[in-house]
Amino acid sequence: MLTKEQLVTLEKMLLEEKDKLEARLKEARERVDFGDDVDSFEEEADEAEEFSNKLGVERLINERTKEVESAILKLEKGGYGICEECGSPISYEVLLVDPESRLCKECKSK
């Protein structure tokens, strides 16, 4: 089981990660300025590609944010650090590398 000190460290890591993700999401949501130059198809294609890339990044950040928020909720409710697959405790070493981990080392390797 995790000690109180370890839980405090992991909670701090999760909250810091959530803040970073929220900042990245805000940045990703800044829309591309397409301007009003309709003569350059190449420029418009570049802008469309950039817009598409931003949408993909935004989706990934949203997914990661949900994982972090889920881990924070588990921490608050007392179910943090338990493998969702087998019910065993997730090692502190795994959680230090991946604090929002839902699986123990053994289940991750399956």
CA angle 48, 41, 59 (to 5 degrees): 5
- pLDDT higher for 73 or 58? 73
Query: Is residue 54 very low, low, confident or very high in pLDDT (cuts 50, 70, 90)?
Result: confident
Q: Which residues lie below 8 Å from residue 18, measured CB to CB, with a gap of 6+? A: 65, 68, 69, 72
C-alpha dihedral, 53 to 59 to 64 to 69, nearest 10°: 140
Bridge partners, 89 (sequence order)? 82
- pLDDT higher for 88 or 54? 88
pTM (2 decimals)?
Answer: 0.78
Q: Number of H helices and number of E strands within the chain?
A: 4, 0
